[in-house]
Amino acid sequence: MMDYKNYIGGTWVETQASQANVNPSDVSDVLGHAAKSSAELMEQAIDAAHQAAPQWAASTPQQRFDVLDFVGSEILARKEELGRLLSREEGKTLPEGIGEAARAGQIFKFFAGEALRQAGDRLASVRPGVEIDVTRSPVGVVGMITPWNFPIAIPAWKVAPALCYGNSVVLKPAELVPGCAHALVEILSRSGLPDGVVNLVFGRGSEIGPVLVESDKVKAISFTGSVPTGRGIAAACGQKLKKVQLEMGGKNPMVVVDDADLNLAVDACLNGAFFSTGQRCTASSRLIVTEGIHDRFVNALTDAMKALKVGHALEAGTQMGPVVDERQLQQNLSYVEVAAKESGRVIGGERLNRETEGFFMSPALVTDTDNAMRINREEVFGPVASVIRVKDYDEALAVANDTAFGLSAGICTTSLKLASHFKANAEAGMVMVNLPTAGVDYHVPFGGTKGSSFGSREQGRYAAEFYTTVKTAYTLP
C-alpha cells in the first residue's frame, strides 16, 4: 500500500495521510492513502516554486529538452505499468489506461521538441533605424488544478508546456486519483529539474485550492473540472488580475444525417458516448438524428450498446469499466430517472452487480427526447446518451448549437457539402466529421467555446499563449 506524500522543494514531505485511494472496480482494493494537506503546506509549496522560478526561467532549451525527453521516455517505457495503475484507481479499461499513459508520454516528447523551437519575431520598425524583437518569457509560478477523469494525461498536458516555456509548477490533483499524479511527479523528481520547480500537494480542493488560486506568488491558474468550481476560480483570478485557463463541461452533440454510413455512425456514437464510461468532457451526450435514419440508427446502437461488456477495469475483455465512485454513480442514475420522468424512453441505465463490489452500471440510451429536457441541458458525466429526432440537417445544426456548452461537436455524413457547412457553423472548439466527439490528438489545440472553456487553448503550439507572456523590445542600435 502506498503513502502518497507531497513533494515540496525537492523533498517528499511526511504528512498525515488520510484520503484512501479506492479501486472503483473493487472497493476492497485500497491502493494507498494520500496526504490531506493544510493551507500551510500549500503555502510552502508555493514558496518553493516561487524561489525556484528564476533558475528555471534562465534554463537553456537543451536543459528543458533533456528534462521533458527523460520524462516522456520513461512514461512510454512504463506505459503498461502506469496504465494499470490508472485503470485500477480511475476505472477505465486497461487498454484505455495504457493508451492514456502513452499519451502522457507523447505529450512530454512533443514539448521536449518544442523547447528547442522557441522562436520570436523580428520586425522592422515604422521608425527609421529602429529594430523590434517580439519574444516570449515565462509567466512564473503556475498553479494547476486537475480532475479525476484523465489522471495522468491532464497533469501531463499542463506540466509539460509549463516546464517547456520555463515556468515552475504547483500541482493539486483530484482527490480520487492521487496515484497517477504521484507516479508522474516521482518521474519528474529524477529528471534533472532543480528542486522546487515542480511541487505536488494533495488535499481537499475546497480547502487548499483557494490558497493556490489566491496567492500573489502564483501568476497563472490552469484548471480542468466542473463549471461551478471553474466559475469561482475565474472570479478569484479576475480580482487578482491573474492569468486563468478553464476547461469545464460539455453537452456535446453528434449529428447523424440520413446519408450517413450507418455502421460508422453507430461505432462513433458507441465510442463517443460510452467508452471511458462516458466520463469525458468530450463525450457524445446528445445524438441528434434525422428522421430517415433514426429508427435504423437507434436499433443498431441499442444492439451494440447492449453487447458492451461492463466489468472490472483490469479484466481482459471488459469494454466499459465502472463509474469512478458512488456519488457519481448515484448522479448518473438520478439523471436517468429524471429523463424517464420527462417522458424519455430509457434503455439500460441500471446498477449492475459483478463479482467484486464496485460502481458498475449498464450504459443508458434515452430516446424520444427533445432538446429542452434536463437530460439534454446538463452534463451527466457518465455512460448516458440521449437521442433527439429531427427533420433535417438544418434543424440538427440548430439543435446542436442550442446549448450552453461548446467543447466538441460531431457529424456523421457522406456529404462533403454538409460536412463543410457543419465545420464552419458548429459552435464548438473542436469539430469531428465521421469521428467520435471524444478522442483527440496530443499535438494540436484542445478547448471549447461558450460555457465549456475560458482563456487560451491547451496543448500543441497554442499552449505557449498561456504559459508565456509576450515582450516587445525596441532598439535603436
Q: With helix as H, strand as E and coil as C, how does 159-201 read? A: HHHHHHCCCEEEEECCCCCHHHHHHHHHHHHCCCCCCCCEEEC
Q: Is 205 in the site for ligand ADP (CB under 6 A)?
A: yes
The residues, ordered by sequence, that sit 6+ positions from 54 with a Cβ below 8 Å of its Cβ are none
Position among 8, 34, 94, 145 found at the interface with ligand ADP (CB under 6 A): 145
Spatial separation of the C-alpha atoms in residues 159 and 166, rounded to whole Å: 11
Stretch that binds ligand ADP, among 140-148, 180-188, 190-198, 307-315 (CB under 6 A): 140-148
Q: Is 6 in the site for ligand ADP (CB under 6 A)?
A: no
Q: Is 406 in the site for ligand ADP (CB under 6 A)?
A: no
Q: For ligand ADP, which is the closer residue by CB, 321 or 344?
A: 321
Position among 18, 60, 62, 206 found at the interface with ligand ADP (CB under 6 A): 206
**CB of residue 46 to ligand ADP, shortest distance in Å:** 14
Q: For ligand ADP, which is the closer residue by CB, 222 or 284?
A: 222
Q: Is 330 in the site for ligand ADP (CB under 6 A)?
A: no
Is there a contact between 170 and 201 (Cβ–Cβ < 8 Å)? yes
Interface with ligand ADP in residues 233-292 (CB under 6 A): 233
Q: Is 174 in the site for ligand ADP (CB under 6 A)?
A: yes
- The three grid cell numbers given for residue 418, joined into one nine-digit string: 454538409
How many residues touch ligand ADP under the rule CB under 6 A: the total is 16
Stretch that binds ligand ADP, among 91-99, 113-121, 202-210, 465-473 (CB under 6 A): 202-210
Is there a contact between 362 and 350 (Cβ–Cβ < 8 Å)? yes
User: Maximum CA pair distance of the chain?
Assistant: 79
State yes or no: is 281 an active-site residue. Answer: yes
Q: Is 225 in the site for ligand ADP (CB under 6 A)?
A: yes
Catalytic residue among 89, 100, 175, 247: 247
Count CB atoms within 10 A of the CB of residue 227.
16
Q: Which residue has the cell 525537492?
A: 10
Position among 91, 140, 147, 196 found at the interface with ligand ADP (CB under 6 A): 147
Q: For ligand ADP, which is the closer residue by CB, 178 or 344?
A: 178
Q: Is 229 in the site for ligand ADP (CB under 6 A)?
A: yes
Spatial separation of the C-alpha atoms in residues 56 and 263, rounded to whole Å: 51
Q: Is 210 in the site for ligand ADP (CB under 6 A)?
A: yes
Spatial separation of the C-alpha atoms in residues 473 and 477, rounded to whole Å: 12
Count CB atoms within 10 A of the CB of residue 470.
12
Is there a contact between 207 and 36 (Cβ–Cβ < 8 Å)? no
**CB of residue 206 to ligand ADP, shortest distance in Å:** 4
Query: What DSSP letter does each residue of 18-52 carry, written as one string?
Result: EEEEEETTEEEEEEEEEE---HHHHHHHHHHHHHH
State yes or no: is 412 an active-site residue. Answer: no
Q: Minimal CA–CA distance to 110: which of 459, 477, 476?
A: 459
Is there a contact between 411 and 432 (Cβ–Cβ < 8 Å)? yes
Stretch that binds ligand ADP, among 115-123, 168-176, 371-379, 423-431 (CB under 6 A): 168-176
Q: Which residue has the cell 488580475?
A: 241
Q: For ligand ADP, which is the closer residue by CB, 92 or 172?
A: 172
Q: Is 226 in the site for ligand ADP (CB under 6 A)?
A: yes
Q: For ligand ADP, which is the closer residue by CB, 88 or 172?
A: 172
Catalytic residue among 90, 281, 379, 465: 281
Q: Is 175 in the site for ligand ADP (CB under 6 A)?
A: yes
Is there a contact between 411 and 401 (Cβ–Cβ < 8 Å)? no
Is there a contact between 95 and 276 (Cβ–Cβ < 8 Å)? no
Q: For ligand ADP, which is the closer residue by CB, 146 or 168?
A: 146
**CB of residue 224 to ligand ADP, shortest distance in Å:** 7
CA dihedral 101, 104, 106, 110 (to 10 degrees): 180
Q: For ligand ADP, which is the closer residue by CB, 229 or 408?
A: 229
**CB of residue 151 to ligand ADP, shortest distance in Å:** 11
Q: Minimal CA–CA distance to 360: which of 311, 421, 305, 430?
A: 311
**CB of residue 127 to ligand ADP, shortest distance in Å:** 47
Q: For ligand ADP, which is the closer residue by CB, 226 or 302?
A: 226
What residue ranges bind ligand ADP (CB under 6 A)? 145-147, 172, 174-175, 205-206, 209-210, 213, 225-226, 229, 232-233
Q: Active-site residues: which are they?
A: 247, 281
